[in-house]
Amino acid sequence: MDFSRFTTISFDCYGTLIDWESGILPALRTVLANHDQSLPDATILELYGEFEAEAESGPYQSYRDVLQSVVRGFAGRLQFEATPAEIRSLHESIRAWPPFPDTIAALRELQKRYKLVVISNIDDDLFAETRNHLNVEFEAVITAQQARSYKPSINNFQLALRRLALSSDRLLHAAQSVYHDVVPARSLGIATVWVNRKSARPGIGAVRAPAGLASEKRPDLEVPDLASLAAAVSKPPKN
């Protein structure tokens, strides 16, 4: 990849910069255990991805409400009645979700060469809590609340391009989710990096599996983490 053509790198946040599985799994395991239920971690993530995508596909609602719908989805599927505190527990846990160990150092390295942007399916105030963990200044933060839509809608990416006054060929988008990020970004001519982080559900994580043609799902670059992307960017170009 010719990294010299990009001026800006955008990132999905949760699952890419933030280790959301370390927040999602304990919160949902606790809810399930309260009702004498248990599921393998991979199954929890698969159901999370299913319920989240269903909640995001209808008329816009806040991410708080999306995550409450996820908890209700588990309760409905497993036939128990979640308490109000349990319904709130998933979105209330976001403030404690940590960055991956390589996130901050990689962002600081990438910031030496590029403007950094976040494009995230989140509410503004929930991201403000996450931002305190990242210690990096972003050129822009585009949330689902601002776009009034959720990725994989191309609207979120189009809003980012407009706000940055940037052509699609100058933006590189890095994300863990092929479904939410790689497919829609590619459709707009945005180059993509799939950050294929380790997961209890390898290769997919806590998202819906992408449908469509294999060519639509193929990123321009695949890396196992952000440190690898920062290292790739730092390599001198081949002659």
Catalytic residues: 12
HSE-CB for 118 with a 13 A CA cutoff:
24
- Cα 35 to its chain centre, rounded Å, is 29
Residue that the structure tokens 């950050």 belong to: 195
| HSE-CB of 38 using CA atoms within 13 angstroms | 3
> Residue 151 and residue 186: Cα distance in Å, rounded?
13
CA–CA dist 238, 26 (Å, integer):
45
**Residue 83 in 3-state DSSP?**
coil
Residue 135: CB atoms within 10 Å: 11
Per-residue burial over 165-195, b if 16 or more Cβ lie within 10 Å, else e, is ebeeeebbbbbbbbbbbbbbbbeeebbbbbb
Q: What's the token pair of residue 168?
A: 């699609």
What does each C-alpha distance from 125 to 89, 128, 132, 156, 157 come to in angstroms?
16, 5, 11, 18, 20
Separation between Cα atoms, residue 77 and residue 70, nearest integer Å: 11
Query: 98 and 145 in contact (C-beta within 8 Å)?
Result: no
